[in-house]
Structure 1
Amino acid sequence: MKASDFEPVPSRDTFSRRVAVLAFWAALLMVLWHFLPVVEAWLAPSGSGERTVTARGDLAEDEKATIELFEKSRDSVVYISTAQLVQDVWTRNIFAVPRGTGSGFIWDDAGHVVTNFHVIEGASEATVKLADGRDYKAALVGASPAHDIAVLRIGVGFKRPPPVPIGTSHDLKVGQKVFAIGNPFGLDWSLTTGIVSALDRSLPNERGGPPIEHLIQTDAAINPGNSGGPLLDSAGRLIGINTAIYSPSGASAGIGFAVPVDTVRRVVPQLIKTGKYIRPALGIEADELLNQRLAALTGVKGVYVLRVQPGSAAEKAGIVGAARGPEGLVPGDVITALDGTPVDGLPKLLSLLDEHQVGDVVRLTLRRGEATREVQVALQPGT
């Protein structure tokens, strides 16, 4: 083997020098990179740092319309704060404890304010704040828990705020624009926009009784504090009262509900006149739980009349209730439709009746056994 066959082995000192050179250049590059912005600023031409404002141009037509709607509607919306009177067990002093806040709107020139019932429920007093900053103690005129509607009244001597214009809700279309004004989380007079997401929704009534029917579903942001505020159409007309949200977190999740203005127009005048809402009724007795059982047994959906009240509108129309026979309960008439609209249970019947007024005549479709007939009934005041 020759000596030339062996490659020279680099010394340890040579390897160390190479590592040191690479480390030096790496460190130099890092330093240069770090100070690059400083060098660029030093080389750049000097100036004041001011920028010229770019001309905005005209607002879009839909923006102008939204701004005009808010400016016209703002004064009709109010902020409501409630308190509950409590007594100190030691001193016997009575003082007010803040309970909650909500929204409302001016209904008429007499100072009536409409809001949700749950906004003032359980409160001992309420204060209404106008958009111009004035505060007034409010008196409760009347309430309908079944519709989640309440009417307050304030004494406004001068500079009366304008009532919100009234629209209709029976002709709403899914997809049309809506606007909600209220006081979410106490942030007063806030505007949110969206569309009608769905119509004729129903929600369980948290205070018991039949569910709240015919609600408007919207994706306009509705949060705690918006309750009782107006839902407006693009013409600035009232089409509903913001009443509830669907959200596990308690904040807006894009699903809000409003009581339709057609219901408001039917309920509020009664509350102002009598302090309560009198439901139109037939004068029958029925039970929804038993109703469901009978429908499952017989296969016939409807409202099974258990008893007809003596002297009632139902008795005058010849409606027959259930009777006790040798073999148990013998079903009487089953209400299967009202004015041609199918009735599948007691909540549906109550909802359809609620669209009428006392004295209206409705057409009921009845079934008993295999026979079907129709009768006319003049609605009476409910109890």
Structure 2
Amino acid sequence: MLCLGLGAFIAIGAVASLKGVSPVELFQDEPSATATGEAPSAPEEKPGTPGAAPPTWKEKPPAPEEGVENPVVFVARKVGPSVVQVKLFLPETQRAPRQYIGGGSGVIYRSDGYILTNEHVVGKQIQGVNPIITVVLVSGEELEAEVVGADRLTDLAMLKIDKVGLPAAEFTSTESLQIGDLAVAIGSPFGLEATVTQGVISAVQRQEYIEGRVYYDLIQTDAAINPGNSGGALSNSKGQVIGINTAILSPTGVDAGLGFAISSDVVMGIADQLIEKGKASHPYMGIAGEAISKEVAEKFDLEEGFRVEYVEPGGPADSAGIREEDIITKVDDTDIKRYGDLIKALAKKGVGGTVTVIVARDHKELQFEVTLIERPAELQG
């Protein structure tokens, strides 16, 4: 999607172009080594054997110490071993050997082999075939992985490898994030594993439409993020993961200081579901509409909130009495100022929960009790 002609939002972990030059090549995680634009092939490696040389903190990094002079060093030591490289291969056939086609990054979510990444990194068939997925640990050990769960709506996926005792990352809420806080990105841009970059939190709660998905709680950062970073970690100064690096806004396809990560608040609400049942359930009200900003509200004598433009007949909102043209101003104890506020408020209650919805109708405040259902499969993205 082009943004005012200045650049494009790009999901930053995808497969490499197999031949020729195409827009897909912008997403490959290793730079082309030929003038023809053909994607390079990684050396054939057998799963379970050491791959590329491990990063400088080695297999057993020094124990990090809070308050070290350089906080980025602390973060790199603490979070680095929890970030992996994800590789995708086309399987071997009678006509061709196994072929490397791209990849991204991942974050160790649980010590018993569960690894979080982006759905757009691992969720696509290539030439009608499911790719072979491998994970490269900080030690250089490479293991085959399977996708145990994926959610296209939030662009998250969970991988599983056959290994225990892994250094799981610590995730934390983003509610206390402030603009200007330190942000450290760790991942495998262009296939360069365990790359660490630093910046600041540029904005929070961004909502963007990127490659067919609505991302509703994005963290914006100027820490350098490039193709191959998708699925990697964005950390705070305490070495806690606050987001999963996912996309960039760039006129060139590489970092331009506008990177975006899925908030850990979204991640933590989805990850355990992917492990437990292989999918995520999303609460559903049965409405569509758009946010009314403070400026628009003042100009047209409206209330600030989420304006309902469509109510699904027989859906939860319709059954509760909500109508088109209503403006939702509050759900339970959450003020609604943008689409993301509404989605987060519903997620707190979950499928089957009942929320109290405050709406403005003809400048009168009305209250409705809405019982949420599971979002229909055809609307899962």
Please say whether Structure 1 and Structure 2 have the same fold, judged by a TM-score greater than 0.5: yes
* Matched residue, 2:375: 382
Does residue 204 (structure 1) correspond to residue 206 (structure 2)? The answer is: no
Does residue 120 (structure 1) correspond to residue 114 (structure 2)? The answer is: no
- After superposition, the CA RMSD in angstroms is 3.0
* Matched residue, 1:68: 74
Q: How many correspondences in the alignment?
A: 294
Q: Is the 8 A contact 1:335 1:364 kept in 2?
A: no
Once residues 360 and 320 of structure 1 are traced to their aligned partners in structure 2, the CA distance between those partners, rounded to angstroms, is 17
Mark the CA change 1:110 to 1:249 in structure 2 (over 3 Å): closer, same or farther.
same
Mark the CA change 1:335 to 1:141 in structure 2 (over 3 Å): closer, same or farther.
farther
* Matched residue, 2:353: 360
- CA radius of gyration, larger in: 1
82, 85, 92: which one aligns with 1:79: 85
Higher relative contact order (CA 8 A, sep 6+): 2
User: Per-residue deviation at 1:365?
Assistant: 2.6
* Matched residue, 2:150: 143
List alignment gaps of at least 5 residues for structure 1. 1-60, 289-294, 322-331
* Matched residue, 1:101: 103
After the TM superposition, list the runs of 4 or more consecutive aligned residues in structure 1 that deviate by more than 6 angstroms.
297-301
Once residues 287 and 72 of structure 2 are traced to their aligned partners in structure 1, the CA distance between those partners, rounded to angstroms, is 50
* Matched residue, 1:252: 255
User: Per-residue deviation at 1:167?
Assistant: 1.5
Once residues 227 and 307 of structure 1 are traced to their aligned partners in structure 2, the CA distance between those partners, rounded to angstroms, is 35
Q: Is the 8 A contact 2:118 2:157 kept in 1?
A: yes
263, 267, 271: which one aligns with 1:264: 267
User: Per-residue deviation at 1:364?
Assistant: 1.5
Once residues 74 and 68 of structure 1 are traced to their aligned partners in structure 2, the CA distance between those partners, rounded to angstroms, is 10
Alignment of 1:146-295 (within 5 A): 146-156=153-163, 160-206=165-211, 208-209=212-213, 211-282=214-285, 284=286, 286=288
Q: In percent, how many aligned pairs have the same letter?
A: 34
Mark the CA change 1:342 to 1:125 in structure 2 (over 3 Å): closer, same or farther.
same
User: Per-residue deviation at 1:147?
Assistant: 1.3
Mark the CA change 1:313 to 1:127 in structure 2 (over 3 Å): closer, same or farther.
same
Once residues 353 and 94 of structure 1 are traced to their aligned partners in structure 2, the CA distance between those partners, rounded to angstroms, is 49
| Secondary structure, aligned partner of 1:73 | helix
List alignment gaps of at least 5 residues for structure 2. 1-66, 126-130, 291-296, 377-381
Once residues 287 and 95 of structure 1 are traced to their aligned partners in structure 2, the CA distance between those partners, rounded to angstroms, is 50
Q: Which moved more, 1:255-264 or 1:69-78?
A: 69-78
**Paired AA for residue 140 in structure 1:** V
| Secondary structure, aligned partner of 1:224 | coil
User: Per-residue deviation at 1:216?
Assistant: 0.5
| Secondary structure, aligned partner of 1:67 | helix
Mark the CA change 1:170 to 1:343 in structure 2 (over 3 Å): closer, same or farther.
closer
**Paired AA for residue 353 in structure 1:** L
Q: Is the 8 A contact 1:305 1:320 kept in 2?
A: no
Deviations 1:289-340 (A, max 9, x none): xxxxxx9x9978711344332xx544553x256xxxxxxxxxx573533326
* Matched residue, 1:328: none
**Paired AA for residue 85 in structure 2:** Y
User: Per-residue deviation at 1:197?
Assistant: 0.9
Q: Is the 8 A contact 1:304 1:335 kept in 2?
A: no
TM-score (norm: length of structure 1): 0.68
| Secondary structure, aligned partner of 1:74 | helix
Once residues 224 and 167 of structure 1 are traced to their aligned partners in structure 2, the CA distance between those partners, rounded to angstroms, is 25
Q: Is the 8 A contact 1:362 1:377 kept in 2?
A: yes
**Paired AA for residue 145 in structure 1:** R
* Matched residue, 1:292: none
Mark the CA change 1:175 to 1:369 in structure 2 (over 3 Å): closer, same or farther.
closer
User: Per-residue deviation at 1:359?
Assistant: 3.4
Deviations 1:163-196 (A, max 9, x none): 0112111110011111111111111111111111
| Secondary structure, aligned partner of 1:197 | strand
Once residues 231 and 311 of structure 2 are traced to their aligned partners in structure 1, the CA distance between those partners, rounded to angstroms, is 38
130, 136, 156: which one aligns with 2:137: 130
TM-score (norm: length of structure 2): 0.69
Deviations 1:37-83 (A, max 9, x none): xxxxxxxxxxxxxxxxxxxxxxxx76544323312322211010112
Mark the CA change 1:63 to 1:245 in structure 2 (over 3 Å): closer, same or farther.
farther
* Matched residue, 1:23: none
Deviations 1:146-168 (A, max 9, x none): 211111100015xx221011211
Does residue 341 (structure 1) correspond to residue 304 (structure 2)? The answer is: no
User: Per-residue deviation at 1:97?
Assistant: 3.5
**Paired AA for residue 341 in structure 1:** D
Q: Is the 8 A contact 2:322 2:368 kept in 1?
A: no
Mark the CA change 1:287 to 1:198 in structure 2 (over 3 Å): closer, same or farther.
closer
Deviations 1:63-117 (A, max 9, x none): 5443233123222110101124587xxx6x5764322121111001221100111
User: Per-residue deviation at 1:261?
Assistant: 0.5
The structure with the largest helix share of the pair is 1
